[in-house]
Structures are given as structure tokens and as C-alpha cells.
């Protein structure tokens, strides 16, 4: 592991450090851009200015840099550094980090070079230098553009560094492997005598994408478990995710059954296993009903039959009812989020073309105040489909929770492979049914259980490096393309012509999709709906999601529990949960990750939101923070309340001799008047 830098001693400002560089060093050579376009640029070999060291994380190293770079979104000038972890943009004036222009490399979805030809003034020769731009599209809803000095190699150096660092040749080149090991240990418990933990997958031989320990009905033998696995896609047989401690109703998950085109293929072992999910507890008055919730649209399930998959028939499964939720696939979700991101960039205050939406089209945000233009813009938000997708996932999860809580029915959830839509629905239903999962420790256990252990392919879906090879072969990385085609108008209002250069990427071959981001969005909707029911705050969810997208920790690397064990992630990488817990420990319950309004006694049972309440809105702290930073401060009121409570607590701790009762009362009254 790389040795951390020593930050002791006086630090030199970036401005002083820059002044010591010669002009040729800053410009990195001059000449025709076409002549140097494909020149290989090596990482920065000269020493990094001392003023930068204070901003670097442990083992973070500078790979390339650019001076006099302009962040087009806000028209701020500064210095751009490419490190082994992120793009770091420092303001030219204050020498502070500019958050909008600083983004972890793993959070970058696409990047593209744009050359824009500016129009020449009348009666002047056509020798106006072109604008050299670099567009960065992030998975966290931001689109940023950097402008570089003409006739320099700086943009090329930054672009080449991004190509190398966002697609490392080896797993060990990831920044996550430089921070040292830390672990989060999960445990398994049984709530009654009807179930058992089977060791049949202890070596991941039955199902490489399932956890090593599986909870199954006690009357199902290991041999029957193995037989049932052969009837499910990728051997992801029905297993239990959660059990109601009072009624014995279970929430189970699997992949689609392999019934075939005619839906006539059957498996006695699979049917027996599914029927056993409805095992009655002692004293139950009537047999439990079983719902089989297929997350897909019905037509998609039938289409999968042509490839050997399909959906169950209620006549083959005891006391069962089949329900289709109509949730679209990963490709629809990826396209939907891309449309939402483009909408926010177009109509935001810090758009990537450098123009406020209030000035676009020569007038106000809505096309000069024209009401028809306003309606068209609102339709664009609706046409993205993101909020409808969120609502569909929320509605499906609420339906599942209601069946378990109100009818004491068991529910088996699956989609095609059982690791995307299934995981969203099951984990949200867990969150609604069990107040434990609405605490910090419970939320961690929920993510570890239903997302990580049950094999949600994080490397594919979040666009991280994936492991290839098997046996004793060394682990290599093959990464989905990190560059790709761009929106048809990357610079909407810029005059002149432009050309762009990017590597082509095919969505058909790209498995990136914001499935986990969408799930966290759903959690945020529930938190706003039930502000007293969650121990954690919306700020916690934003920081948590940023950590996942940044690939800074090892928890979310690889596609399965098996891959993480084989690559030794937990022994070499930092742990996200430990990092977040250390942040909270520094301030206790007053930390911004703690929900100030949390009242565990108010919601001791399940949360069962009615359909009318499931009307999601944009998540301001996440969706709007880059495009509309002022409007994204939805948590400002909570922050003010937190400060009031903290200051009032400090007043109460004052020793009695220092203040008389009247003075204390006057202080309290004046404090409240000044903050309410």
C-alpha cells in the first residue's frame, strides 16, 4: 500500500507555486493542435505544488494538471488536477476546492473532447483560435464543461489521464486498494423454528451469485434445494429474505422459472419449495396465501419464454396468485435518468453551456415567458419518465408490504435474473415492514443482505471495473466503456461550430444502469413522507450514495459476494460503513447524518403508505444540487433547527452562578426570537 503523504510543515499557496513555473511549463509546448492531437502525454513528473497537498486524500497522487482552466458552468478559472481518485478543481482566486468541478473518476459516466470554432469578427482573417473544451457527464446528475487554453497540450494531457485512470489495467490500480483494510461483519438470525440455514452454497458451487448461507424451509432437504435451483434462471432458487416474527409470513426472492415458450415445463422440487413458503405457524386459523410478484411487465415475461424463461402458472403452485408490476428494465432506467439529467442541465442555473436558464432563448427560463414554452418544458420533465419509474417501484413495494402485514400472506418476488428489480422491491418492502431497517445499523444490514450478498451486479450497474478470469488466474479488469456518444447539442447556446471526439459505446453492450441510485431515491421519498420514522437523514443518503458512486471503498466492488471474497476486497480496501460511523461518532446525535426528528416510538410497526401518498417529487438535495444549488437547500431548515437545539443545549449547560434566572430566561427568549 502506498505510504500517505506527510502534511506537516508550512504549506505554500498555489499562486506562489505557479509563479515559479516557467511559461513553457505551464503551456506544455505550443504549435498546431492537429499535430499533437495524438501525442502520448506521460503523467506529471515534476513535483506537485505544496499548496495542493493539503487537499489530497491518503495515497492520492496527481497524474496530470492543467492551468488557467475555466469551468464553463460558472465561468470560474482555476487549476484542474487529475489524480488516481478524482478530478480536482481549485479556484484561481481563493484556492479552495470548487465542488461542482471536483468529481471522483468512478462517478464519471462519459467524457468527451469538444472543439468549438468561434465566429471571426468582420474584416478580420479567420485565425480566431478554437475553444478547446472537455465535457464530463457524471452519474450523480451533473454535466460540467472545462475550457482549456488554445494551442497547448493541457486538454490532451487531462483527457489521456482520464482514459488511463478510469479504465485501470489491473484491479489493484483502483484507489480503493490504497486505503487499508476495514471490515463490516454481518450476522444471520432465525426468528422461528420453521426455517433453517442450508450450507449447500457454502462454496458458491450451486449459485455463484447467491450468498454462502441461504434461509430455506426446514422441511426442504439439501438435495431438493439443488434440484430446485436447476429450474430457476442462473440457479437463483426461491429463498427467504425476511420473516414476520408473529405470523410467520415470509418475503422471499428468486429469479424467473425456466418454463419455456409454451409455459409447460415444471419442477416438482421448485413447486414443493415454493409451497413450503406458506408453512403455517402453530395456532394459525387458516392456511396462508402465496402471492408471486413478477416485477416485469406481463408482455416482457411472456417474451422471456422464447428464451427459456417466463413466469409461473398459478395452477402449478399451491394457493398462489400471480401479479405483474410492470417495472421496466435496466436500459429504460438508464435512458430515463439521462433525460432527467439533460433536462436539469438545460433548465438549471449552472448549465454546462455557461448560460443561466433565465437568459436562454433571449428571455426567461420558459422561452421568454411564453406559456406554451413553459408547458413544453414541464412536459420534458414528465417525458423523462424518472418519477413515474420511482412511483412504480414504490407502489410495488408498498403492495408487497401490505400483503405481508395485513393479510399475513407470503410473497415471492422475482424479475428475470432476480438481482435488479427484485432487489429494489424486496429491500424496500423490508424497510417498510421492519423498523430495525430504518436505523443506521439496520440500513447497513439491509444493504449488505439484499444488495451485496444476493449478488446485485454493482460493477456492471454502477460502471465499475469487473473481475475476469477464474481459478488461480490473476484478476484483471475489463471495464464498460467510460466514454461514449453525447447529446446532439452539448453546447446549446454557443455560437459557431463544434466537433467532438469520443469513443463509441453501445447501450446494447453496456450494462450500466442507475438501479441502486433509483432505490436510494425511493428511500428518500419514504423519508420525506415519514420524517419521524428514520434514524438517518436525507444528507446521509446523499453522502452514502456519493461514496458508492465514487468507488472509494471496497464494499461495492465486484458483482457478487463470491467475487469480493476471491479478490480479497475486505482484506485490502477501506469499509464504507466504518467511514460513515466514524463521521457520526465525531459529533454524536448532532451530526448531519442523524435525523433530528427521529422518534422510534411513533412508528414501531410497519409503514403502509396509501396509493394516494405515493406521488414522488424530485429529490432536491441530490437531483438539484449541481444544476440549481440555491434551490437544493431543502435541508437548510433542518440544519437551522439542529443549530438551535445545539445552542440551546449549550445554554442549559452554563453553571448556575454565571447567570441568574432572569438573565437565563431573557437569553432563551432572545435566542428563539432571533432564530425562528
Distance of CA 595 to the CA centre of its chain: 21
CA angle (432 as vertex; 431, 435 as ends), nearest 5: 70
Instruction: Give the 3-state secondary structure of 303-358.
Output: HHHCCCCCCCCCCCCCCEEEEECCCCCHHHHHHHHHHHHHHHHHHCCCCCCCCCCC
List of residues 6+ apart from 440 with CB closer than 8 A:
535, 536, 581, 584
Q: Which of 179, 207, 415, 522 is catalytic?
A: 415
What whole-number distance in Å separates Cα of residue 398 and Cα of residue 433?
Answer: 9
329 annotated as ligand-binding: yes
What whole-number distance in Å separates Cα of residue 531 and Cα of residue 595?
Answer: 8
In contact, 77 and 102? CB cutoff 8 Å: no
For 124-192, give the DSSP string: S-S-PPPEEEEEEEETTS-EEEEEE-TTSSHHHHHHHHHHHHHS-SBGGGSGGGGS-----------SS
Cβ atoms < 10 Å from Cβ of 379: 10
What whole-number distance in Å separates Cα of residue 669 and Cα of residue 666?
Answer: 5
User: What cell numbers appear for 282 in the block?
Assistant: 402453530
420 annotated as ligand-binding: yes
Cβ atoms < 10 Å from Cβ of 402: 19
**167-198: buried (b, 16+ CB within 10 Å) or exposed (e) per residue?**
bbeebeebbbbbbeebebeeeeeeeeebbeeb
HSE-CB of 673 using CA atoms within 13 angstroms: 6
138 annotated as ligand-binding: no
**585-596: buried (b, 16+ CB within 10 Å) or exposed (e) per residue?**
eeeeeebbbbbe
What whole-number distance in Å separates Cα of residue 176 and Cα of residue 573?
Answer: 5
User: Alpha carbon of 143 to those of 74, 135, 283, 381, 623: distances in Å?
Assistant: 12, 7, 59, 17, 12
415 annotated as ligand-binding: yes
330 annotated as ligand-binding: yes
What whole-number distance in Å separates Cα of residue 174 and Cα of residue 464?
Answer: 10
What whole-number distance in Å separates Cα of residue 573 and Cα of residue 557?
Answer: 10
What whole-number distance in Å separates Cα of residue 559 and Cα of residue 577?
Answer: 19
Residue indicated by cell numbers 417466463: 310
List of residues 6+ apart from 79 with CB closer than 8 A:
14, 18, 65, 66, 67, 68, 69, 89, 90, 92
Comparing C-alpha atoms, which of 28, 345, 16, 31 is closest to residue 158?
28
522 in catalytic set: no
**Bind-site residues for substrate:** 329-330, 415-421
**Bind-site residues:** 329-330, 415-421
Q: Which residues are marked as active site?
A: 415
Amino acid at each position: 500500500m502506498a505510504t500517505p503523504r506527510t502534511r506537516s510543515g508550512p504549506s505554500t499557496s498555489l499562486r506562489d507555486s505557479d509563479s515559479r513555473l516557467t511559461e513553457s511549463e505551464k503551456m506544455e509546448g505550443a504549435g498546431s493542435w492537429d499535430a499533437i492531437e495524438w501525442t502520448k502525454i506521460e503523467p506529471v513528473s515534476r513535483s506537485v505544488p505544496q499548496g495542493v497537498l493539503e487537499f489530497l486524500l491518503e495515497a492520492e497522487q496527481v497524474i496530470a494538471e492543467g492551468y488557467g482552466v475555466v469551468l464553463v458552468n460558472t465561468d470560474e478559472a482555476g487549476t484542474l488536477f487529475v489524480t488516481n481518485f478524482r478530478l480536482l478543481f481549485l479556484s484561481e482566486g481563493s484556492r479552495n476546492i470548487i465542488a461542482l468541478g471536483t468529481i471522483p473518476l468512478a462517478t464519471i459516466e462519459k467524457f468527451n473532447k469538444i472543439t468549438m470554432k468561434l465566429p471571426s469578427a468582420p474584416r478580420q482573417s479567420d485565425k480566431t483560435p478554437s475553444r478547446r473544451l472537455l465535457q464530463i457527464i457524471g452519474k450523480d446528475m451533473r454535466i460540467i464543461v472545462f475550457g482549456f487554453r488554445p494551442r497547448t497540450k493541457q486538454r490532451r494531457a487531462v483527457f489521456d489521464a482520464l482514459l488511463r485512470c478510469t479504465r485501470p489495467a489491473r484491479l489493484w490500480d483502483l484507489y480503493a486498494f490504497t486505503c487499508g483494510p476495514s471490515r463490516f461483519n454481518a450476522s444471520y438470525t432465525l426468528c422461528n423454528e420453521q426455517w433453517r440455514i442450508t450450507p449447500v452454497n457454502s462454496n458458491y458451487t450451486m449459485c455463484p451469485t447467491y450468498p454462502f448461507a441461504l434461509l430455506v424451509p426446514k422441511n426442504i432437504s439439501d438435495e431438493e434445494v439443488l434440484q430446485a435451483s436447476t429450474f430457476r434462471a442462473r440457479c437463483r432458487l426461491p429463498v427467504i429474505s425476511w420473516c414476520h416474527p408473529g405470523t410467520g409470513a415470509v418475503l422471499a426472492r428468486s429469479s424467473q422459472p425456466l418454463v419455456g415458450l409454451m409455459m409447460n415445463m415444471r419442477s416438482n422440487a421448485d413447486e414443493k419449495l415454493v409451497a413450503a413458503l406458506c408453512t403455517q405457524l402453530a395456532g394459525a386459523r387458516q392456511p396462508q396465501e402465496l402471492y408471486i410478484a413478477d416485477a416485469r411487465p406481463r408482455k416482457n415475461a411472456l417474451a422471456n419464454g422464447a428464451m427459456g424463461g417466463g413466469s409461473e402458472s398459478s395452477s402449478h403452485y399451491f394457493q398462489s396468485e400471480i401479479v405483474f408490476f410492470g417495472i421496466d428494465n435496466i436500459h429504460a432506467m438508464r435512458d430515463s435518468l439521462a433525460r432527467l439529467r439533460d433536462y436539469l442541465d438545460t433548465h438549471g442555473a449552472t448549465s454546462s453551456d455557461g448560460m443561466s436558464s433565465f437568459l436562454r432563448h433571449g428571455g426567461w427560463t420558459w422561452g421568454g415567458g411564453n406559456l406554451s414554452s413553459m408547458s413544453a418544458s414541464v412536459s420534458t420533465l414528465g417525458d423523462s419518465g424518472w418519477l413515474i419509474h420511482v412511483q412504480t417501484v414504490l407502489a410495488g413495494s408498498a403492495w408487497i408490504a401490505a400483503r405481508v402485514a395485513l393479510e399475513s400472506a407470503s410473497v415471492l418476488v422475482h424479475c428475470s435474473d432476480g438481482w435488479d428489480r427484485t432487489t429494489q422491491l424486496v429491500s424496500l418492502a423490508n424497510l417498510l415492514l421492519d423498523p430495525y431497517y430504518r436505523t443506521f445499523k439496520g440500513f447497513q444490514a439491509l444493504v449488505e443482505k439484499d444488495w451485496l450478498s444476493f449478488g446485485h451486479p454493482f460493477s456492471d450497474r454502477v460502471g465499475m471495473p469487473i473481475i475476469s478470469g477464474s481459478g488461480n488466474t490473476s484478476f484483471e479488469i475489463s471495464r464498460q466503456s467510460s466514454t461514449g456518444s453525447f447529446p446532439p447539442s452539448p453546447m446549446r447556446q454557443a455560437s459557431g461550430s463544434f466537433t467532438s471526439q469520443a469513443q463509441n459505446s453501445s447501450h446494447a453492450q453496456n450494462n450500466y444502469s442507475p438501479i441502486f441510485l433509483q432505490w436510494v431515491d425511493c428511500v428518500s421519498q419514504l423519508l420525506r413522507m415519514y420524517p419521524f420514522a428514520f434514524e438517518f437523514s436525507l444528507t446521509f443518503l446523499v453522502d452514502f450514495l456519493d461514496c458508492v458512486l465514487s468507488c472509494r471503498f471496497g464494499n461495492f466492488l465486484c458483482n457478487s459476494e463470491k467475487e469480493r471474497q476471491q479478490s480479497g476486497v475486505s482484506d485490502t480496501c477501506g469499509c464504507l460503513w466504518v467511514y460513515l460511523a466514524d463521521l457520526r461518532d465525531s459529533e454524536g446525535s448532532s451530526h448531519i447524518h442523524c435525523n433530528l426528528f427521529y422518534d422510534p416510538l411513533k412508528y414501531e410497526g410497519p409503514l403502509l403508505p396509501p396509493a394516494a401518498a405515493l406521488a414522488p417529487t424530485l429529490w432536491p438535495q441530490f437531483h438539484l444540487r449541481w444544476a440549481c444549488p440555491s434551490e437544493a437547500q431543502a435541508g437548510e431548515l433542518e440544519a437551522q433547527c439542529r443549530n438551535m437545539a445545539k445552542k440551546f443545549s449549550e445554554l442549559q449547560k452554563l453553571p448556575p452562578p454565571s447567570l441568574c434566572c432572569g438573565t437565563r430566561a431573557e437569553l432563551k427568549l432572545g435566542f428563539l426570537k432571533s432564530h425562528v
